[in-house]
Amino acid sequence: MSHDHDHEHTEPPSDLELRVKALESLLVEKGLVKPETLNAIIETYEHKIGPRNGAHVVAKAWTDSEFKQALKNDATEAVASLGYCGRGGEHLQVVENTNDTHNLIVCTLCSCYPWTMLGLPPTWYKSAPYRSRAVSDPRGVLEEFGTRINEKSIIKVWDSTSEMRYLVLPQRPEGTENWSEQDLQKLVSRNSMVGVELARSPEQKDKGDK
Partner 1 sequence: MKGGHDLGGQSEMGPINPELESQEPVFHADWERRVFALTIATGMLGKWNIDESRHARERQDPLAYIQNSYYKNWLEGLEKLLLEKSLVDTEELVLAANISSQINESLLAPNPSLAKRMLAINTFSTMKTDSEQLFRIGDSVLVKVSETAGHTRAPRYAQGVVGTIAAQLGCYNFPDSSAQGIHEGKFLYRVTFSGVDLWSHSSAQDEVLIDLWEPYLEAAIN
Q: Which parts of 17-36 interact with partner 1 (CB under 8 A)? A: 17, 19-24, 26-27, 29-34, 36
Residues 131-150 that bind partner 1 (CB under 8 A): 131-133, 135-139, 141, 144-145
Instruction: State the nearest-atom distance from the C-beta of 107 to partner 1, in Å.
Output: 9
- Catalytic-role residue among 81, 110, 127, 136: 110
DSSP the chain: ---GGGHHHHSPPPHHHHHHHHHHHHHHHTTS--HHHHHHHHHIIIIISSHHHHHHHHHHHHH-HHHHHHHHH-HHHHHHTTT--STT-TEEEEEE--SSEEEEEE-SSS----HHHH-SPPHHHHSHHHHHHHHH-HHHHHHHTT----TTSEEEEEE--SSEEEEEEPPPPTT-TT--HHHHHTT--HHHHHTSSPPPPGGGTTTS--
| By the rule CB under 8 A, 42 interacts with partner 1 | yes
Give the interface segment with partner 1, choosing from 2-10, 37-45, 57-65, 168-176 (CB under 8 A): 37-45
Q: Which residue in the set 52, 164, 171, 201 belongs to the binding site for partner 1 (CB under 8 A)?
A: 164
> Exactly one of 2, 14, 85, 107 is catalytic; which is it?
107
Q: Annotated catalytic residue: which of 25, 111, 127, 180?
A: 111
Least distance (Å) between residue 2 CB and partner 1: 25
The answer to whether 85 is a known catalytic residue is no
Positions marked catalytic: 107, 110-112
